[in-house]
């Protein structure tokens, strides 16, 4: 199995057929979960029972022990598995299903190459983990968050506005180049994303053509853009020779692209400073529709922003009663902001 999996990762799971992040994820799951459990098995002798036994054993195996996580720490900092105190850090059901999915994909390729006659992984039933979604922000919480970011001069203020108002994904907003903005048409061209794959930042096209879109920019977004550009000039002047000119719309205080992991950290810090519930960046997308409704954005425009194929789908999520004072305060974010 080891030789075949190595071949599969090196020759089959490669760009452009697979996205770089997908390649990295597959390699990690093979190295940490599949090879340790099934690597010694012969590809043509692998059975359904082998796969089922491997899955059950993985569920019961502390991954800190198996991967030597604690053992890799400095000897003085070891605190669990390496000192005989197993922390029982088991793989989640989602991780186990992902590992099974990768194995199934690898065996499907083996069938195509006529190395085996059947996919034994596909014959094993693996339940899909229940998805637990966080409750999205209310309009009031979103307003409080955005006002906190704007009033404190947060360099990521524009990014937060685009994530909340347009429902952009983290990678899409961080990967947007400056020329993605069409001021005359008040539109944003969404066709690029920024991803961290291992130790490298990759600026690449969005995953599918369906992800590409030209989204209308409501007044609040245009106002945030004005604030962003004015403050970026100030930051560039303050940075002096330390400033790096790049093509990215959203940058650090020194002009460089924002690492997605750092964006997550800054988002958490801003939530705490704003005094709002901590949610994941991706969960802000669920607040987009109610914010558009509170801003009195026309349903047809909202339909384009939400990327719905039919207007009745938009109207279904486009109604939520909001406190009048909150609506008024939110609209003021779209007014010209004096620096």
pTM: 0.76
Burial pattern 11-37, b for ≥16 Cβ within 10 A else e, equals: ebbeeeeebbbebbbbbebbebbbebb
Burial pattern 57-91, b for ≥16 Cβ within 10 A else e, equals: ebeebbbbbbbebbeeeeeeeeebbbeeeeeebeb
Each residue's pLDDT tens digit, 45-89: 999 999 999 999 999 999 999 999 989 999 888 999 998 899 999
Three-point CA angle 64, 70, 71, nearest 5°: 115
Each residue's pLDDT tens digit, 205-236: 876 554 567 888 888 899 999 999 999 999 99
Q: How is residue 98 written in tokens?
A: 């992902």
The pair phi, psi for residue 78, each rounded to 5°, is -70, 135
Q: Distance from first CA to last CA of the chain, Å, rounded?
A: 63
The more confident residue out of 207 and 296 is 296
Each residue's pLDDT tens digit, 230-278: 999 999 999 999 999 999 999 999 999 999 999 999 999 999 999 999 9
Q: Closest Cα to residue 269, out of 180, 158, 179, 152?
A: 152
pLDDT of residue 338: 37
* Residue 204 to residue 194: CA distance in whole angstroms: 7
Pairing of strands 213-216, 200-205: unpaired
* Residue 214 to residue 305: CA distance in whole angstroms: 9
The more confident residue out of 212 and 194 is 194
pLDDT of residue 51: 96
How many other CB atoms are there within 10 angstroms of residue 239's CB atom? Answer: 14
Pairing of strands 200-205, 187-190: unpaired
Superfamily (CATH) of domain 139-332:
Intergrase catalytic core (1.10.443.10)
Residue 323 confidence (pLDDT) above 80: no
Distances (CA, A) of 25 to 1, 35, 65, 104: 19, 14, 21, 15
How many alpha carbons lie under 13 Å from residue 312 in its C-beta half-sphere?
0
How many other CB atoms are there within 10 angstroms of residue 113's CB atom? Answer: 12
C-beta of residue 339 within 8 angstroms of C-beta of residue 230: yes
Q: Closest Cα to residue 293, out of 138, 134, 157?
A: 138
Residue 314 confidence (pLDDT) above 80: no
* Residue 79 to residue 73: CA distance in whole angstroms: 9
What proportion of the chain, given as a percentage, has pLDDT over 70? 88
Mean pLDDT of 125-145: 83
Residue 316 confidence (pLDDT) above 80: no
Burial pattern 294-317, b for ≥16 Cβ within 10 A else e, equals: bbebeeeebbbbbebeeeeebeeb
Q: Do domains 2-123 and 139-332 have the same CATH topology?
A: no
Distances (CA, A) of 139 to 144, 146, 275, 327, 330: 9, 11, 14, 8, 8
Q: What is the phi-psi region of residue 198: left when phi exceeds 0, alpha when psi lies from -120 to 50, beta otherwise?
A: left
pLDDT of residue 339: 33
* Residue 161 to residue 181: CA distance in whole angstroms: 14
pLDDT of residue 209: 54
Q: How is residue 58 written in tokens?
A: 């993985």
Domain ranges of the chain: 2-123, 139-332
Give the right CATH number for 2-123 from 1.10.150.130, 3.40.50.620, 3.30.1330.10, 3.40.50.970. Answer: 1.10.150.130
C-beta of residue 288 within 8 angstroms of C-beta of residue 234: no
Residue 114 confidence (pLDDT) above 60: yes
Q: What is the phi-psi region of residue 280: left when phi exceeds 0, alpha when psi lies from -120 to 50, beta otherwise?
A: beta
Supply the mean pLDDT for the chain. Answer: 86
Residue 293 confidence (pLDDT) above 70: yes
């Amino acid at each position: 199995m080891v030789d075949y999996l190595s071949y599969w990762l090196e020759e089959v799971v490669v760009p452009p057929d697979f996205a770089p992040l997908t390649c990295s994820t597959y390699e990690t799951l093979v190295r940490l979960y599949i090879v340790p459990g099934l690597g010694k098995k012969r590809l043509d002798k692998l059975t359904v029972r082998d796969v089922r036994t491997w899955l059950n054993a993985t569920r019961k195996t502390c991954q800190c022990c198996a991967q030597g996580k604690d053992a890799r720490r400095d000897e003085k900092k070891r605190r669990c598995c390496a000192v005989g105190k197993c922390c029982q850090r088991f793989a989640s059901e989602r991780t186990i299903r992902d590992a099974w999915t990768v194995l199934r994909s690898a065996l499907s390729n083996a069938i195509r190459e006529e190395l085996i006659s059947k996919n034994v992984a596909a014959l094993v039933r693996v339940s899909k983990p229940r998805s637990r979604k966080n409750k999205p922000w209310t309009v009031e919480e979103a307003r409080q968050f955005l006002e906190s970011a704007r009033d404190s001069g947060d360099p990521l203020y524009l990014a937060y506005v685009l994530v909340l108002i347009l429902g952009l994904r983290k990678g899409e907003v961080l990967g947007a180049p400056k020329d993605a903005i069409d001021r005359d048409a008040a539109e944003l061209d969404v066709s690029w994303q920024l991803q961290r794959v291992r130790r490298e930042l990759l600026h690449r096209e969005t995953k599918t053509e369906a992800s590409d879109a030209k989204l209308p920019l409501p007044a609040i977004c245009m106002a945030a853009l004005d604030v962003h550009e004015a403050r970026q000039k100030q930051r560039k002047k303050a940075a002096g020779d330390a400033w790096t000119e790049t093509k990215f719309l959203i940058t650090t205080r020194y002009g460089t692209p924002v690492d997605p992991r750092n964006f997550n950290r800054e988002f958490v810090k801003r939530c705490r400073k704003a005094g709002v519930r901590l949610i994941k960046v991706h969960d802000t997308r669920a607040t987009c529709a109610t914010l558009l409704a509170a801003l009195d954005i026309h349903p047809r425009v909202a339909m384009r922003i939400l990327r719905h194929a039919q207007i009745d789908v938009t109207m279904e999520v486009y109604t939520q009663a909001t406190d009048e004072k909150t609506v008024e305060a939110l609209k003021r974010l779209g007014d010209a902001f004096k620096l």
